[in-house]
Structure 1
Amino acid sequence: MAGAKHTTTMNVPLEALWEVITNYEEYPEFVEGLQSLTVTKVDGKHTYADYVVSMFGKKIKYSVKHTETPKKGLKWTMTEGEFFKSNDGSWELAADGDDAVEATYSVDVGFPLLVPKSVVNTLTGTQLPKMMKAFEDRAKAKAQKPAKAKAKKAPAKEAAAPAKKATKGTKK
Structure 2
Amino acid sequence: MYSATKEFRDAEVDPQRLLDVVYDVEDYPEFVKGVRSVTVQNRGEHDLVARFEAGVGGMTFDYTLFVERTETEVRWRRIKGSFRASEGSMVFLGEGKFRYRNAMDPGFAVPGFAVQFVLERSLPRLIKEFRRRARERATEASS
Q: Is TM more than 0.5 here?
A: yes
Deviation at 1:28, TM superposition (A): 1.0
Q: Which runs of no fewer than 5 residues in structure 2 stay unpaired?
A: none
Q: Give the whole-Å Cα distance in 1 for the aligned partners of 2:42 and 2:93.
A: 27
2:131 corresponds to 1:136:
yes
Q: Give the whole-Å Cα distance in 2 for the aligned partners of 1:146 and 1:76.
A: 27
Contact residue 2 and residue 112 of structure 2 kept, 8 A: no
Distance 1:31 1:122, change over 3 A: same
**Structure 1 length as normaliser, TM-score?**
0.75
2:90 aligns with: 91
Contact residue 62 and residue 78 of structure 1 kept, 8 A: yes
**Larger helix percent:** 1
> Which structure 1 residue ranges, 4+ long, deviate > 4 Å from structure 2?
none
Q: Give the whole-Å Cα distance in 1 for the aligned partners of 2:74 and 2:118.
A: 24
Structure 1 vs Structure 2 CA RMSD: 1.6
2:40 aligns with: 39
Contact residue 66 and residue 77 of structure 1 kept, 8 A: yes
Contact residue 20 and residue 138 of structure 1 kept, 8 A: yes
Q: Give the whole-Å Cα distance in 2 for the aligned partners of 1:17 and 1:56.
A: 28
- Structure showing greater radius of gyration is 1
Deviation at 1:74, TM superposition (A): 1.7
Deviation at 1:43, TM superposition (A): 2.0
Contact residue 3 and residue 119 of structure 2 kept, 8 A: no
**Larger strand percent:** 2
Q: State the aligned residue count.
A: 141
1:157 aligns with: none
1:123 aligns with: 119
Q: Which runs of no fewer than 5 residues in structure 1 stay unpaired?
A: 150-172
Distance 1:77 1:20, change over 3 A: same
**Structure 2 length as normaliser, TM-score?**
0.89
Percent identity for Structure 1 against Structure 2? 24
Distance 1:55 1:79, change over 3 A: same
